[in-house]
Amino acid sequence: MPSLPLPSKFEELVPVDVPDAQWWRQAVVYQVYPRSFYDLDGNGLGDIRGITEKVPYLKELGIDAVWLSPFYPSELADGGYDVADYRDVAPELGTLADFDEMTAALHEAGIRVVVDIVPNHTSDQHVWFKEAVNSPKGSPARNRYIFRDSRIDEDGNEQIPSDWISMFGGPQWDQLADGQWYLHTFAPEQPDLNWDNPEVREEFEDVLAFWSDRGVDGFRIDVAHSLVKDQAVIFGPDPLPTWAEMEKLPWDGTHPVWDRDEVHDVYRGWRKVFDRYDPPRVAVAEAWVEDPQRRAKYASIEGLGQTFNFDLLRADFHAPQFKEIIDHNLELAARADSSTTWVLSNHDVIRHATRYGLPDLLEGEESVVGQKWLLDGGSLADVDVEQGNRRADATTMLLLALPGATYLYQGEELGLHEVGDIADADRQDPTFFRSPGVDIGRDGCRVPLPWVADAQGYGFGSETPHFPQPTWFADHAVDVEDRDPHSTLNLYRQALSLRKRLLTEERLTWEETGSEDVLQFVRPNGWRVIMNFSKDAVDLPDGDLLLSSRPLEDGRLPGETTAWLLDA
Ligand code: GLC
């Protein structure tokens, strides 16, 4: 929106003092998916120097930190989440020297650096796994992973150890030439590590120190709830439970595979590493744990310190649902002495501008909104684009005003939609290949960013970007949005810039609006936020208007719009 004149009260605001060690509590963290951000060397893939090149863009955007998805050497069996070497940069993305240069440039711009750590599994190209393959059964090299002999059935025949299904579809065990099987919770190229092996624990503490020594400020921990498995069950002599039996087991700390209590011992060890630095390094857990009490354990200050809350990402566009989720997560975070994290999009889910342009989940549908749309061809013609963008902008303004940290995903600041109709031949996500016809996969949110509308590859930097970009990307290109005062990009810039000054204590007070469809709260410094979920305009509360996600209509707040005001 074109900027509004700011009231003198605003200029007088003193942002809350944030000690260095607490920077993460209310930070705005921008997720970069490096291979699709900016391609400086023109090889079709985004690279580290491309991120350095775009530091001015990130600075102008006004974020506090970037989180880089994996940039390590990888065979790309899972978009880089199959790490072949935890202490290096993929050669096609750059070098460690490039990484150091990028970190220095980001720090110089006042932006912190968070990197992704993938501890549940390595790549099958990792030196450890290669060694395991070439070592005998029972060897120390195999003991770094989870190996098991065949199950012998009633007729004396050798069978796969269990009928477990991997997260990307297909069996969870793969067999080596000598007959032993290894466990992979995800793709076969991602063998699970054995976290009861002290060598594995030492290795990751060392990896954390390696990046901390390079000046990295924090870590995002991939599938943080899966590392430790029940030794007695996994390595014991008894047959493994069946998939159906496993599905019925509660996640109460005793499940053989997920969210075991012992995983927190690992993170207590990591905390000691984090605390060796000044300011202490920080971490955020990706832990898809339903039970909120158990999820909060990952945010413990003796452990990782913060955990993702994906609740809004799965919520309908429905005010009472939002309010419940907000209250609940604020309470949980406070109980763990942490702050919560608000997320609408990331590299694993359908972009939220698209989700908001689709009907809410139908009764009985369990997955995230949009799966059906993808299966039906994923055409943007079937999305209410205007509604999607409108709701997305309004929701972002709500999130940015809540106590806690907000995680943004590259491209959402351009109002980008999911590319749902990527041709089968161009797809890369293992879920697409391992669950034919059931799961289309996550490629549609990983398409290279458009920087310049009328340049080849929309200014991404390559003649042939690693995913083809649709023609409608031109409308969202950075140069186009930069010029348009009503663009999503300019809304993000304004909101983030105001937010720096408005940052206040981590509390909010709800206010009665007389309508179930309108949420309103005020922060301790008089920062008042109103979000109208309905289609009809409503009156604004008193106060000086700072920003609204859509222009007011006759002085009233239009439908599906959020406004920020300041007490006069
Ligand atoms: C996490 C990542 C996802 C990856 C998976 C396996 O969920 O976000 O992209 O496929 O872990 O590493």
User: Which residue, judged by its Cα, is nearest atom 9 of ligand 1?
Assistant: 348
As a whole number of angstroms, the distance between CA 420 and CA 446 comes to 11
Determine the atom of ligand 1 nearest the C-alpha atom of 168.
10
* pLDDT cut 90: percent of the chain above it: 91
Q: Is 165 helix (H, G, I), strand (E, B) or coil?
A: strand
In this prediction, residues 423-444 reach a mean pLDDT of: 89
Please write the tens of the pLDDT for every residue from 438-492.
Answer: 789 999 999 999 999 999 999 999 889 999 999 999 999 999 999 999 999 999 9
Burial class (CB in 10 A: 0-12, 13-18, 19+), 481: buried
User: Which residue, judged by its Cα, is nearest atom 7 of ligand 1?
Assistant: 223
Q: Give 369 or 479, the one with higher predicted confidence.
A: 479
Please write the tens of the pLDDT for every residue from 55-109.
Answer: 999 999 999 999 999 999 999 999 999 999 999 999 999 999 999 999 999 999 9
Question: What integer pLDDT is reported at residue 372 of this predicted model?
Answer: 87
331 with 292: CB under 8 angstroms?
no
Best residue among 223, 288, 431, 435 to mutate for probing ligand 1's pocket (most ligand atoms within 8 Å of CB) is 223
Question: What integer pLDDT is reported at residue 369 of this predicted model?
Answer: 81
Structure tokens at 236: 């014991």
Please write the tens of the pLDDT for every residue from 390-408.
Answer: 999 999 999 999 999 999 9
Answer whether 439 contacts ligand 1 (Cβ < 6 A). no
Best residue among 186, 192, 439 to mutate for probing ligand 1's pocket (most ligand atoms within 8 Å of CB) is 186
Max distance between CA atoms of the chain, in angstroms, equals: 84
Determine the atom of ligand 1 nearest the C-alpha atom of 347.
9
247 is annotated as an active-site residue: no
Helix 198-213 vs helix 263-274: crossing angle, to nearest 10? 30
Q: Is 211 helix (H, G, I), strand (E, B) or coil?
A: helix
202 with 194: CB under 8 angstroms?
no
Question: What integer pLDDT is reported at residue 367 of this predicted model?
Answer: 64
Answer whether 429 contacts ligand 1 (Cβ < 6 A). no
Architecture per CATH, 500-566? Sandwich (2.60)
Q: Which residues contact 352 (CB under 8 A, 6 or more apart)?
A: 313, 344, 345, 392, 395, 412
Question: What integer pLDDT is reported at residue 411 of this predicted model?
Answer: 98
Answer whether 116 contacts ligand 1 (Cβ < 6 A). no
CA of 257 to the centre of ligand 1 (A): 16
> How many of the other CB atoms lie within 10 Å of CB of 479?
16
Please write the tens of the pLDDT for every residue from 503-550.
Answer: 999 999 999 999 999 999 999 999 999 999 999 999 999 999 999 999
Question: What integer pLDDT is reported at residue 89 of this predicted model?
Answer: 98
User: Which residue, judged by its Cα, is nearest atom 4 of ligand 1?
Assistant: 81
Q: In this model, does residue 366 exceed pLDDT 70?
A: no
Residue ranges with strand state E in 60-183: 65-68, 112-117, 147-148, 151-152, 158-159, 173-175, 181-183
Answer whether 81 contacts ligand 1 (Cβ < 6 A). yes
153 is annotated as an active-site residue: no
In this prediction, residues 282-300 reach a mean pLDDT of: 93
Answer whether 77 contacts ligand 1 (Cβ < 6 A). no
- Annotated catalytic residue within 39, 174, 192, 222: 222
10 with 17: CB under 8 angstroms?
no
| pTM beyond cutoff 0.75 | yes
Q: Which amino acid, one-letter code, is at 551?
A: P
- Annotated catalytic residue within 82, 116, 286, 560: 286
* pLDDT cut 70: percent of the chain above it: 99
Answer whether 223 contacts ligand 1 (Cβ < 6 A). yes
Answer whether 118 contacts ligand 1 (Cβ < 6 A). yes
Structure tokens at 102: 């990028």
Question: What integer pLDDT is reported at residue 276 of this predicted model?
Answer: 98
The CATH code belonging to domain 127-183 is 3.90.400.10
The CATH code belonging to domain 8-122+198-382+405-498 is 3.20.20.80
As a whole number of angstroms, the distance between CA 482 and CA 489 comes to 7
Question: What integer pLDDT is reported at residue 365 of this predicted model?
Answer: 67
Taking the domains of the chain in order of start, what are their residue ranges? 8-122+198-382+405-498, 127-183, 500-566
